[in-house]
Amino acid sequence: MIDAKDKMRVVILTPSKRLLDLSGVSELYFPSEHGALGVLPGHAPMVTAVGTGVVLYSQNDVSGFFKVAGGVAEITGNAVNLLVDVGEEAATIDLDRAKRSLERAEGRLAAKELGNVDVKRAEGSKARALARIEVVNLHTNKHAKDKKSS
């Protein structure tokens, strides 16, 4: 049996909203500037930059998904605070809109030889759109799998 000291509290905050404040989390994965970072209870304290991508957490065999972009993460043993520039819960993301955003970003990148394209901005848009699509797909597949096992 896993007791409370083997769990974490996870908070995800944007400048305008608290997206998540959850105790009892057994594992957390989030994008750092240097790749995906996994955190388990008792993780060494650290502060790191948050990248663009998917946040996955597990609590009592239930998983949750968020898309985040930018910010900072603070890990203190059994607590993780993600202070992110932008964050969205999987259930709130419009998949069609994310796909259109990806198409626009890829179109701008394909036209970069024509000159007046901000490549860094287009690459950022593409990364955010891909993260949104991935989060929705993970969320959708998780719910489909849960329904099959019910």
pLDDT, one tens digit per residue, over 58-78 is: 998 888 999 999 999 999 989
Residues 6+ apart with CB under 8 A from 146: none
Looking at CATH, the fold of the domain delimited by 93-149 is given as 1.20.5
- Indicate yes or no: pTM above 0.85: no
CATH class of the 4-90 domain in this structure? mainly beta
Give the pLDDT of residue 20. Answer: 96
From residue 52, alpha-carbon distances to 111, 112, 128, 144 in Å are 24, 22, 6, 26
**Residue 3, pLDDT score:** 46
Residue 37 has pLDDT above 70, yes or no: yes
The alpha-helical segments, DSSP class H, found in 18-83 are none
Domain ranges in the chain? 4-90, 93-149
Place of tokens 């198409």: 103
Rounded Cα distance between 49 and 84, Å, is 9
- With tokens 């509290």, the residue in question is 9
